[in-house]
Structure 1
Amino acid sequence: MPLHHVRTVFRRFIRHNGFDAAILAQLAIIEATPGRVVCQVPVQQENTNRLGTAHGGWLATIVDVAGSLSIASYGRDKTGVSVDINTSYLSAAKLGDMLTVDAVCLKLGRNLAFTQVDLKVGEKQVATGRHTKHLGGQPPHPAKPEPSS
């Protein structure tokens, strides 16, 4: 069930025909469980910098979108707005490489969600990022029960 829902939310991102559609149309969602999403995306010419490696802005966008999808994996239609995002670049990904993206929602609260996203080519870590999102006080989805009082 989470896989279908996450793919539906992502299709909405792409249907908007904005930034996400322009640079992440090739993103494939492979796996989704509550709190975790795994994706793959090839490094294509339009995603590279002048050195022929994956552009840092593109990788940061993947951290943004994949972090959002890890929140959606709890059954949420709305994934909030970014409050803070950071990306550390550890190694280069080249044209033609297939990136595997592992996004985990570390904490889902009433107002904030905290995610971590790791990007790899095979076993080589390319980048890692953290993404904090404001959820607007939406009540947690039933897949994530509220703490008992």
Structure 2
Amino acid sequence: MAAAESFLAELAHVVGFDRDVVTAVVPASVRVDSEKGTFACDIDVTKNLANRYGTLHGGAVATIVDVFGTAALATVSDTLGVSLDLNTTFLKGTPLGSVVHVHAKVLTKTRSVAVIEVNLEATINNRRVRVAQGRHTKFLNAKVERQLVESKKRGGGGPSSKL
């Protein structure tokens, strides 16, 4: 759990989109639970996470898949990598005031690639239903991560094109 918490704490201090979503989500979490290869938390659907229709915003779902999938990866890998592919499937609208149960699981991890599955469930009309699911594929390369960190320190936008 320490690795996942450390990753989320680090995001909370970085200026940018990740921080805004993490700070909107993490304080609202009822529980955070992780074990090797998994991460789970509960998220309140608040105005900050809703779209104009009063349901959980698709962009928030995609970010949940990204951030909490990476938190699951942090429980089994020192290298958190960069995204190769991220997909989300929206199955049911989740109204304001709902609690979303997030469960992320590392499906496979090799030296260079990890695949993580993230499921979101909520209780709607007294039934617990899956409201969204996502899959996140990450390229794991410590050299690329170092380039990103160095580029950020120099004020650049990313690693060199020599991957």
- Once the 2 structures are TM-superposed, how far is the Cα of residue 45 of structure 1 from its aligned partner? 0.4
Distance 1:4 1:98 in 2: 24
* Bigger Cα displacement from structure 2, 19-28 vs 54-63: 19-28
Distance 1:55 1:94 in 2: 10
Q: What stretches of structure 2 of length at least 5 have no aligned partner?
A: 144-163
- Once the 2 structures are TM-superposed, how far is the Cα of residue 110 of structure 1 from its aligned partner? 0.5
- Once the 2 structures are TM-superposed, how far is the Cα of residue 137 of structure 1 from its aligned partner? 5.7
- Once the 2 structures are TM-superposed, how far is the Cα of residue 75 of structure 1 from its aligned partner? 5.0
Match of 2:108 in 1: 107
- Once the 2 structures are TM-superposed, how far is the Cα of residue 128 of structure 1 from its aligned partner? 0.3
Q: Given the two structures, how large is their TM-score scaled by the length of structure 2?
A: 0.78
Secondary structure, counterpart of 2:92 in structure 1: coil
- The CA RMSD measured in Å over matched residues stands at 1.5
Aligned partner (choices 7, 18, 23) of residue 5 of structure 2: 7
Match of 1:133 in 2: 138
- Once the 2 structures are TM-superposed, how far is the Cα of residue 133 of structure 1 from its aligned partner? 0.4
What amino acid sits opposite 2:42 in the alignment?
Answer: Q
Size of the aligned set, in residue pairs, is 135
Deviation >6 Å, runs of 4+: none
Distance 2:141 2:77 in 1: 16
8 Å contact kept, 2:8–2:22: no
* Bigger Cα displacement from structure 2, 8-17 vs 108-117: 8-17
Secondary structure, counterpart of 1:88 in structure 2: strand
- Once the 2 structures are TM-superposed, how far is the Cα of residue 66 of structure 1 from its aligned partner? 1.1
Secondary structure, counterpart of 1:96 in structure 2: coil
Q: Given the two structures, how large is their TM-score scaled by the length of structure 1?
A: 0.85
* Bigger Cα displacement from structure 2, 4-13 vs 98-107: 4-13
Match of 2:97 in 1: 96
8 Å contact kept, 1:110–1:137: no
Match of 2:15 in 1: 17
Higher helix share goes to which structure? 2
Q: Confirm whether residue 50 of structure 1 aligns to residue 52 of structure 2.
A: yes
8 Å contact kept, 1:116–1:130: yes
